[in-house]
Structure 1
């Protein structure tokens, strides 16, 4: 139930609570849904909450979106509204008029990291438009190099992206950026497009998710409009395409993307792509495409280090007109390690908890707001669990983790397990050393530094570590 709303509340109080009701619902959906789904279907919704909270009306852009949201999301939205308010809330979906009612509560302000553009065109106010004949770029203007927090994890990728934005069509073509979910790949590609348009407004720039490219190929095939399709894609100055792993097993799509790829490179246009894995790790993608992906520059984005996570939290809180004390940011950053998206989700929970309970943000409040997340982490990730997972992965015995054996087939997995123990738990170096057969903390420190350095240089090791981290985090 919404705290702080007494019976017979004044209209202003009811408005504030109505704002909080939809805000809380949207924030929970942001945690549950993949980023692209949330930004495509939920984020653009305009909500109006009745003064007595008996009904929430959601204004949708068109009939297609209305039908899809009703079929896919309305049941869960109703459940969340009832859970948050404490009583049944009627849900109504309606198509927005050209001039929608005042937006009572935008679910979230523009997210600064890794936010795919919606799969359909959205309001002009939410995307950039180049001057090249009113060409829609589908860029999010909030995602720039200035709003991207830089750190060791993304420094090389950021430098390459800035070079492309400054001199497109030359070096690093194509630029292939890979890494796990929520690390800032999409932010980076939007930043490239926004920088190019700022410098050269007449450029034809297009940001698109791979799923939308697939959809465009299907439509062109059904409608026999491949000439228009080719004119659209082959005439670009810069193509930014997210998650190319979605092309797997789609032969016609791969054929058309190959053609577009060749056409763009021939006219010295630039292509920037993202994926969850490096080019040769892509499954069910034609070899000739993989070789094209790998022909320019391939760079990884890693999970952010502690200081970078702290900076992201503080900057993001400020962008939402809130202050996060540094000690709270460090507490959250030490407990949420995997990616920026999870950091932002944790921040949303803390700020919502603070608003609902009318309390200042503190470590204790953060602990309460994140108790479910912290409980899951503490239960799932321990040094013993890491040792067993790594031993299983590399097909050695768990006992080898704390034995004195030193052949490479055992020493290497042991070092990887030490590295993961330092990254994923709160244990100190001496504590980790004790759990690895009473080893000195300097041995653990050497292993951590060695694996961290090699992760930056050895693609295969980086992929193995991603797999192990995802396995441990469930």
Structure 2
């Protein structure tokens, strides 16, 4: 049993104390959370200060800060409290770009030094047998598993929009069935979920060539199930899916409304989980928003890690197109790519379409295509994207005008039928037309994220059952598309701006008329 010690009082003793304290807490956290989980999420955190009764940790990025605060905050704080007297709270700050660059330089220098040392003593080490297979064999097994060759980790371009999913994908491929069960990706179409699924499959086969990997869409799973029923071959169907080492299922939202299929998948999921086999799922929305998905499946989909993929930022979009240009051997200049990414900010497919259009026009024209001519070439692609370049404020304004209420009321507590419906429709449209997360939308409205989940579900149901609600939503969307609104920058993560998170959000009752 540790006796908590007081905070050090002078700067000189604090520096050494911080290092010793973090070393001890690191050991505690590895024992509590597991080494793989610690290495994935907390190894790049740094203990930077003891501010009165508060511990200050520095995160490598905002996504890490948000996720760790939501999932590990109380656990981390409890371990600090074992060693420090009067430790009452913990704060997660985000490293600046300069601090991150400095850390990367140190990491690169350390890696180089370790490599040189390793090479010096290699002749002293015994040979270790590893599982090896030829590239042709891995390729053949991957294609048999349903994997696409062009979707590998090597050609995935990670960015701040996908750092959570990228880190989780690598962890799952390295240690399937141990880190997260299941891993659940969600995002609008065309942002890289499918690429990550295939990448996990290829990397898993590279590391374990004999493993049984299966990639299917939920629709393919359904077709196989129906075919098995018709041919009286359910045993064969179940053997195929329930003996997989790695099951990758795309478009899992297809399971919604299909009771018999959900029951079959439920038992498949349980079997694989019991055997500690890895399941990775991808959907165009969070599990809680899949229409008529059984609660027991929603619960299981949330067992492990849910990773949302956002729309890529400017620098990531440019990096993606430069990679595509080089892979496809296109004669498109960096200036042209810069012009494309400034105007196309939606999904990767839209970016690829714009790149192909520019390359085609550049090839067909007798005169050289100039960068300033690119906007005209891709004008129709930009126009199609207008609905995806809308900010929260613009959507709230359009909804308020349609329902004839003040914008400020949407952020308040008034709960008349008209105001409640307007508020829910605004949350629904922000969720479906932008890349803001549930937490960010909730913070903007001053609500709990559970309120946003409830609103999205309710408006989806109303659109199915009520022509009036469906028409209202479509009218507002068309108005927004015609308005030519600008992109609203996502809010920088700050601790004080975060909404309350609870297992039973009180906002659900407030909004549920």
Q: Tell me which interval the TM-score lies in, with the shorter structure as reference length.
A: 0.5 to 0.7
Structure 1 residues 359, 206: closer, same or farther in 2, change over 3 A? Answer: farther
> Quick check: which has more Rg, 1 or 2?
2
- Residue 322 of structure 1: CA displacement? 1.4
Cα distance in 2 between the residues matched to 1:292 and 1:141:
30
- Whole-angstrom distance in 1 between the partners of 2:326 and 2:165: 25
Q: How far has the Cα of 1:395 moved from its partner?
A: 7.9
Task: State the Cα deviation string for residues 429-469 of structure 1 (Å, max 9, x = none).
Answer: xxxxxxxxxxxxxxxxxx9xx959969x986698789x999
Could you tell me whether the CA contact under 8 Å between 2:183 and 2:306 is conserved in 1?
yes
1:12-411 to 2 correspondences below 5 Å: 128-130=139-141, 136-375=144-383, 389-393=395-399, 400=406, 408=412
Give the CA deviation at 1:356.
2.0
SS, match of residue 271 in structure 1:
strand
Instruction: Determine the C-alpha separation between the residues in 1 that align with 2:317 and 2:248.
Output: 26
Corresponding residue SS for 2:159: coil
Assess if the C-alpha contact under 8 Å between 1:324 and 1:361 holds in 2: no
| Separation in structure 2 between the aligned mates of residue 220 and residue 324 of structure 1, nearest angstrom | 49
| Higher helix content, 1 or 2 | 2
Instruction: Please state how far the C-alpha of 1:326 moved relative to its aligned partner.
Output: 2.5
SS at match of 2:296: helix
**For residues 302-341 of structure 1, what are the alpha-carbon distances to aligned partners after superposition, in whole Å with 9 as ceiling and x for unaligned?**
0111111111111111111014322222221121112111
Q: Distance in 2 between matches of 1:458 and 1:202?
A: 46
Residues 341 and 374 of structure 1: CA distance in aligned 2, closer, same or farther (over 3 Å):
closer
CA distance in 2: counterparts of 1:311 and 1:279, whole angstroms: 31
CA distance in 1, matches of 2:257, 2:156: 34
1:74-118 alpha-carbon deviations (Å, 9 max, x no partner): xxxxxxxxxxxxxxxxxxxxxxxxxxxxxxxxxxxxxxxxxxxxx
Structure 1 454/354 Cα, relative in aligned 2: closer, same or farther at 3 Å? farther
Structure 2, unmatched stretches of 5+, are 1-135, 415-422, 461-472, 483-513
TM-score (norm 2): 0.53
Q: Secondary structure at the match of 2:184?
A: strand
User: Is the Cα contact below 8 Å between 1:182 and 1:341 reproduced in 2?
Assistant: yes
Give aligned pairs, total.
314
Distance across 2 between alignment mates of 1:171 and 1:328: 42
Is the contact between residue 354 and residue 365 of structure 1 (CA under 8 Å) also seen in structure 2?
no
Secondary structure of the residue aligned to 1:274 is: strand
Q: TM-score, normalised by structure 1?
A: 0.57
Would the aligned equivalents of 1:206 and 1:240 in 2 still touch at CA under 8 Å?
A: yes
Q: 1:158 to 1:377 in 2, by over 3 A?
A: closer
Q: Which 5+ residue runs of structure 1 have no aligned equivalent? A: 1-124, 425-446
